[in-house]
């Protein structure tokens, strides 16, 4: 960590976490759009999807109501604002987007409605930053238009993929094509029938330096040899039709022009993708925590047991207090991490990003868990969104680096400030 970052705890600019005046109209617009358009659309979308015979396809009418909301978002200028680039997005600072992402996190369809949903956001940012003109024309353009979806494919079932140096799926250059062989799993989004392109982490040179062995390459999902074996279930849920898919690659051939940035630059690309993505995840988690707290309070004040509203029983009122305190602590930390990226740059802000990635999903899991408890048996059923919310937050403690990796980054930074080595 550079000296400039080591003094960042006391950096006055870093401690100014106020949303910019330029972003406030967009923030207010997003909140209104979610209330007026996304919330009612979501009710209709989920109702249409009930009991569909093929869980890996959308029910008749589902995509139509979603597309109608997306078209309205485009018309109102609420589109692609996650990208910090004025040509393709709103040119927002990470701090400003962090405020907006918290609102998006309150409704599971809000991000998609405004074309700001993972994994497309990270994939679009990678293509915007490092893609060739041909790659952008073929894949970035339809992604920016919301016409297709994508997947990011890294994790391997037989290797500890939290250490990206372990990635072993080979990609060998054969003439004008790369030939890919191996297995991946938890390819999030690859189950969606709208998914057309994957960014795949591969090993191109096993003899290079450890951080130069990996590359990232574009693989259309319908390429011969790509076999989607089925979904990985998350707490028993296949998360259809989005899906977290198990995929086998057998002699999959893609043009050598599909490589991103060049051989051996996979780690470099990951830093483009993961820093902002982790902030987006964490701020959406704040929105999920707010939703859980709302549900917790409404249940507590509207249900009675033993002659009292549930909120008055036991330590439930303290539970509400602790949830609010944790939400605000998490919010401040995420805003600080977002501001660090704006002030210090993604690489130097890595320790701040790791702090929030280790902290926020764990705290939000606890808040959702308490909301489930106040709901009783209903809390783990399909009658509330809490069980699904809990599963997503618990999974986030593994996705984009497990808690342990992020604690190691933060702990190592602290030890090195005192002259120690790890």
- For the record, the structure tokens of 85 come out as 């680039």
Rounded Cα–Cα distance for residues 86 and 238 (Å) = 37
Looking at residues 148-175, what average pLDDT do you find?
93
Grade residue 92 by pLDDT with cuts at 50, 70 and 90.
confident
Please provide the average confidence, as pLDDT, over all residues in the chain. Answer: 92
pLDDT tens, position by position, 206-228:
999 999 999 999 999 999 999 99
What residues are paired with 178 via a beta bridge? 173, 254
Rounded Cα–Cα distance for residues 196 and 132 (Å) = 18
Contact criterion met (CB below 8 Å) for 269 and 218? no
Please give the pLDDT value at position 93.
Answer: 87
Looking at residues 103-130, what average pLDDT do you find?
93
- For the record, the structure tokens of 65 come out as 């109501």
Helix (H) or strand (E) holding 273: helix 266-302
- For the record, the structure tokens of 116 come out as 């700001």
User: Which segments of 256-329 are extended strands (E)?
Assistant: 304-305, 308-309
Question: Which residue would you say has higher pLDDT here, 325 or 343?
Answer: 325
Cα dihedral 346, 98, 192, 74 in deg (nearest 10): -110
Grade residue 272 by pLDDT with cuts at 50, 70 and 90.
confident
Looking at residues 358-386, what average pLDDT do you find?
96
Please give the pLDDT value at position 281.
Answer: 86
Contact criterion met (CB below 8 Å) for 178 and 259? yes
Please give the pLDDT value at position 89.
Answer: 56
Q: Is residue 157 pLDDT above 70, yes or no? A: yes
Q: Is residue 86 pLDDT above 70, yes or no? A: no
Q: At a CB cut-off of 8 Å and minimum separation 6, what does 145 contact?
A: none
Q: Which of 69-78, 138-147, 278-287, 289-298 has the lowest mean pLDDT?
A: 278-287
Q: How far is CA 215 from the centre of its chain?
A: 21
Would you call 149 helix, strand, or coil by DSSP?
A: strand
- For the record, the structure tokens of 333 come out as 């930390």
Contact criterion met (CB below 8 Å) for 163 and 115? no
Question: Which residue would you say has higher pLDDT here, 198 or 86?
Answer: 198
Rounded Cα–Cα distance for residues 160 and 154 (Å) = 11
Nearest to 246 by CA among 120, 122, 153: 153
pLDDT tens, position by position, 182-209:
999 999 999 999 999 999 999 999 999 9
Q: Strands 149-153 and 195-203, how do they pair? A: parallel
Sign of the torsion formed by the C-alpha atoms of 30, 31, 34 and 40:
negative
Contact criterion met (CB below 8 Å) for 200 and 180? yes
pTM comes to 0.87
Grade residue 2 by pLDDT with cuts at 50, 70 and 90.
very low
Concatenating the DSSP letter of every residue in 66-93 gives: HHHHHHHHHHTT-SSTTSS-TTTS----
- For the record, the structure tokens of 125 come out as 């940012």
Looking at residues 112-135, what average pLDDT do you find?
93
Contact criterion met (CB below 8 Å) for 23 and 93? yes
Looking at residues 269-291, what average pLDDT do you find?
83
Q: Is residue 148 pLDDT above 90, yes or no? A: yes
The percent of residues in the chain predicted with pLDDT above 90, rounded, is: 80
Q: Helix 62-75 vs helix 39-49: angle between axes, to the nearest 10 degrees?
A: 160
Looking at residues 27-47, what average pLDDT do you find?
97
Looking at residues 53-66, what average pLDDT do you find?
96
Q: Is residue 90 pLDDT above 80, yes or no? A: no
Grade residue 3 by pLDDT with cuts at 50, 70 and 90.
very low
Q: What angle do CA 187, 193, 194 make, to 5 degrees?
A: 90
Q: Is residue 4 pLDDT above 50, yes or no? A: no
Look up tokens 């191109």; give the residue. 204
Cis ω for the linkage preceding 119 (within 30 of 0): yes
Looking at residues 47-58, what average pLDDT do you find?
94
Please give the pLDDT value at position 280.
Answer: 82
Please give the pLDDT value at position 9.
Answer: 54
Nearest to 69 by CA among 96, 26, 122, 107: 107
Would you call 193 helix, strand, or coil by DSSP?
A: coil
Please give the pLDDT value at position 275.
Answer: 62
Looking at residues 318-345, what average pLDDT do you find?
94
């Amino acid at each position: 960590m550079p000296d400039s970052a080591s003094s960042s705890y006391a950096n006055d600019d870093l401690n100014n976490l106020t949303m910019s005046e330029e972003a406030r109209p967009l923030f207010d617009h997003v909140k209104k759009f979610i209330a007026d358009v996304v919330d009612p659309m979501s009710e209709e979308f989920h109702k249409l999807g009930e009991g569909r015979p093929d869980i890996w396809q959308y029910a008749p009418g589902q995509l139509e109501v979603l597309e109608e909301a997306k078209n309205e978002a485009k018309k109102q200028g609420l589109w692609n604002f996650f990208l910090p680039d004025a040509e393709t997005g709103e040119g927002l600072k990470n701090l400003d987007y962090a405020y907006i992402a918290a609102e998006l996190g309150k409704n599971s369809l809000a991000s998609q409605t405004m074309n700001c949903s993972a994994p497309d956001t990270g994939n679009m940012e990678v293509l915007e930053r490092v893609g060739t003109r041909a790659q952008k024309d073929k894949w970035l353009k339809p992604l920016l238009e919301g016409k297709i979806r994508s997947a990011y494919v890294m994790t391997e079932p037989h290797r500890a993929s939290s250490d990206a140096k372990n990635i072993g799926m080979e990609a060998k250059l054969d003439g004008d094509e790369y030939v890919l062989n191996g297995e991946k799993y938890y390819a999030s989004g690859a189950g969606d029938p709208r998914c057309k392109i994957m960014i795949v982490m591969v090993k191109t040179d096993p003899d290079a330096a450890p951080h130069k062995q990996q590359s990232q390459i574009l693989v259309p999902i319908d390429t011969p040899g790509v076999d989607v074996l089925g979904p990985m279930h998350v707490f028993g849920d296949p998360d259809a039709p989005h899906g977290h898919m198990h995929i086998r690659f057998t002699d999959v051939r893609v043009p050598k022009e599909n490589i991103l940035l060049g051989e051996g630059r996979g780690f470099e690309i990951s830093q483009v993708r993961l820093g902002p993505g982790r902030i987006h995840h964490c701020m959406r988690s704040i929105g999920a925590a707010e939703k859980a707290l709302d549900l917790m309070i409404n249940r507590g004040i509207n249900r009675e047991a033993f002659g009292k509203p549930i909120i008055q029983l036991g330590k439930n009122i303290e539970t509400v207090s602790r949830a609010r305190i944790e939400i605000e602590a998490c919010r401040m930390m995420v805003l600080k991490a977002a501001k660090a990226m704006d002030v210090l740059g993604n690489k130097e802000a890595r320790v701040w990003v790791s702090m929030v990635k280790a902290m926020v999903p764990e705290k939000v899991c606890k808040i959702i868990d308490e909301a489930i408890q106040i709901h009783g048996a209903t809390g783990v059923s399909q009658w509330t969104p809490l069980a699904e919310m809990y599963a997503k937050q618990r999974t986030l403690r593994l996705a984009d680096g497990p808690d342990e990796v992020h604690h190691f980054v933060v702990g190592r930074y602290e030890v090195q400030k005192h002259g120690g080595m790890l």
